[in-house]
């Protein structure tokens, strides 16, 4: 039951981060950090849609076109490239 409550809270926090990002990016980042902390404490996986909206390295909320660049690459194996413009790190996600 605790894990179910944690998942719901994580989803709510990500929705709030998305809605408040345009006005206050720092508050959105704080919501994301809180969601990550809840996931760690309850040992719950963050949903895939939410996981791709967070930089793995600096833990900031990513909004394509504002603080992230998203590209599709075909070299080697097809993959999506997400570049965080806050810390400059690149994340590659394979797809078929």
List phi, psi (to 5°) of 15. Answer: -65, -40
pLDDT tens digits, one per residue of 8-17: 999 999 999 9
- Tokens 């809605």 sit at which residue? 19
21: which 2 tokens? 């990002």
Distance CA(63)–CA(28), nearest Å, equals 11
30: which 2 tokens? 């704080």
Confidence of residue 89 (pLDDT cuts 50, 70, 90): very high
Q: Among residues 84, 87, 91, which one has the least CA distance to residue 63?
A: 84
pLDDT tens digits, one per residue of 54-77: 999 999 999 999 999 999 999 888
Q: Among residues 77, 39, 40, 36, which one has the least CA distance to residue 60?
A: 36
pLDDT tens digits, one per residue of 19-43: 999 999 999 999 999 999 999 999 9
Confidence of residue 51 (pLDDT cuts 50, 70, 90): very high
- Average confidence (pLDDT) over 68-96: 92
Confidence of residue 95 (pLDDT cuts 50, 70, 90): confident
Distance CA(96)–CA(21), nearest Å, equals 31
* Report field, pTM of the whole predicted structure over 0.85: yes
Return the C-alpha torsion angle 86, 35, 71, 92, nearest 10: 100
């Amino acid at each position: 039951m605790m894990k179910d409550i944690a998942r719901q809270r994580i989803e709510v926090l990500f929705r709030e981060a998305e809605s408040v990002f345009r006005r206050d990016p720092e508050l959105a980042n704080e919501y994301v950090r809180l969601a990550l902390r809840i996931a760690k404490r309850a040992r719950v996986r963050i949903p895939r849609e939410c996981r791709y909206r967070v930089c793995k390295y600096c833990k900031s909320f990513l909004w394509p076109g504002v603080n992230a660049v998203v590209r599709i690459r075909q070299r080697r194996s097809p993959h999506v490239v997400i570049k965080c413009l806050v810390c400059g790190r690149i994340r590659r996600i394979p797809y078929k």
